[in-house]
Amino acid sequence: MLQGTPILVLKEGTEREKGKGATSNNIAAARAIADTVRTTLGPRGMDKMLVDGMGDITITNDGVTILKEVDVEHPAAKMLVEVAKTQDQQCGDGTTTAVVLAGELLKRSEYLLEQNVHPTVITRGFQLALQQGKHLLEAEIGTPVKPGDDAILIDCATTAMGSKGVFGSRSELAKITVQAVQKIAEVRGGKTVCDVDQIKVEKHHGGTISDTELIQGIILDKERGHPRMPGEVSNARIALLNSALEIKKTEIESKINIKNPAQMQSFLDEEDRTFHKMVDSIKAAGANVVVCQKGIDDVVLHYLAKEGVYAVKQVKESDLQKLARATGGKIVTGIKELSSSDLGTAAKVDERKVGDDKMTFVTGCANPRSVSILIRGGTEHVTQEVERSLHDALKVVASVIEDGVVCPGGGASEIDLAVKLRKWAGTVGGREQLAVEAFAQSLEAVPWALAENGGYDSINTLIELRSAHDGPKANKNSGINLQDGKAADMWALHVIEPLRVKTQAISSATEVASMILRIDDIIASRKSSPPSGKGGDHEH
């Protein structure tokens, strides 16, 4: 009865793209994102200048920073931005590699789609290649290291910072990074855990990058509360308070009726006595430094100054928690509960001038479980780039200490994996074999981009690397030496990366490429209207 009559399921005018058109559009968008960051890969990578609507500029070649700042519209392109964010959270480094790999997997898939290989077959082949790739990385390419092997940890930190703008000072920064991570590493349930959030990074422009230093304690971006307080306290006993040292307003509406001057005086005297009690409690506990998360009344500050107590107010909660870990103190809620056993200790608490600002330094902690790094640099843009570099290096060192496995950098791991997967592809059989071969070819995008960004001939470099990894004299550590564009042993050049960076990069890239390949229809979905009234959703 309805033969030949079109049935309108979607509203007229609904934006829709389906079939091969949708797939190729998604692939093109994702590749555009990959091409944006491709030129930033490696030590010779170029920087990007990002200008926001307010005219503020960011200069960086950190893949995740670029993609976070770029205003991306296309949904498939947004998925690649998520890959970079995931890589950054898990490993700190390898964000550009993950995005470049995802773009290359999609580029190779497009060729297979033209040969009428079904997207499901391609994704299945990619999954097989990913599982085998992870196995090869762990079993054959990775090298176990001990957590106390400082030389390798420094090499890993140096490699992570190699592509950033701190190239000249990276050896000093690498040493600071390793020392900082080793301080906060702890064993939980038989496993070593490094929570890099326990490292407080404070940046202040002025000086040079080489003035960056590790503080065995905590830096507070605050000055002392009163000018008459001592500027320096030795053998500090620190009270950590998260309640205010002032008389709060009551929760309920209240009025105080004062009828004569004597009552006024007694009210003021009582207020003064309350403040005196607060200071007496601090002195009774034996504290000579007070760090308070909330406010401190001016009268209390005056009395503390008279007693020679150094006080800091309005400190961030996260800084208070770091101080507790660094000094061994306990955070106390009420001043009445404060006792000498709650106090933290430090060799020195002093106020120092850094640039134009005054900061409080809590140093000489006996066994700090939390430390600080003070970043210096000529301009604000320099200190921001140093901070990004240190973030990458701290995460990298932490992952090496946690996992205890590293692999060669400079494209060596990728090219070795590509050679091994090509040989293995023959055992897969079926059309999936084509996808495994495409996966292997995609891995070569990393050494290709490194050579290209270094100003060398990518084809010649790739041919040389392939022969270095295949045959009787095969060396799994052969990568590209960016000094001359030739194949060289990456261990000899100290170019080493954590295994986690590699496995996470290929995993994320494969997942996102598979997801994009499986999309064959893009429909503009109706924006859901907010619920109104009692009867649930109503259309407006």
Which residues does the annotation mark as catalytic?
Answer: 62, 95-96, 392
b/e sequence 99-117, b meaning 16+ C-beta within 10 Å: bbbbbbbbbbbbebbeeeb
Q: Are 301 and 226 in contact (CB under 8 A)?
A: yes
289 phi/psi in degrees, rounded to 5: -135, 135
Q: Are 374 and 219 in contact (CB under 8 A)?
A: yes
Q: Are 62 and 79 in contact (CB under 8 A)?
A: no
Among candidate residues 368, 308, 442, 445, the one with its CA nearest the CA of residue 184: 368
The count of residues in the chain is 540
Residue with tokens 């701290």: 394
Q: Are 61 and 48 in contact (CB under 8 A)?
A: yes
215 phi/psi in degrees, rounded to 5: -105, 125
Residue 406 to residue 399: CA distance in whole angstroms = 10
Among candidate residues 350, 348, 240, 343, the one with its CA nearest the CA of residue 284: 343
Among candidate residues 357, 478, 348, 508, the one with its CA nearest the CA of residue 418: 478
Residue 15 to residue 21: CA distance in whole angstroms = 13
Residue 49 pairs in a beta bridge with 59
Residue 446 to residue 96: CA distance in whole angstroms = 10
C-alpha 63, offset from chain centre = 12
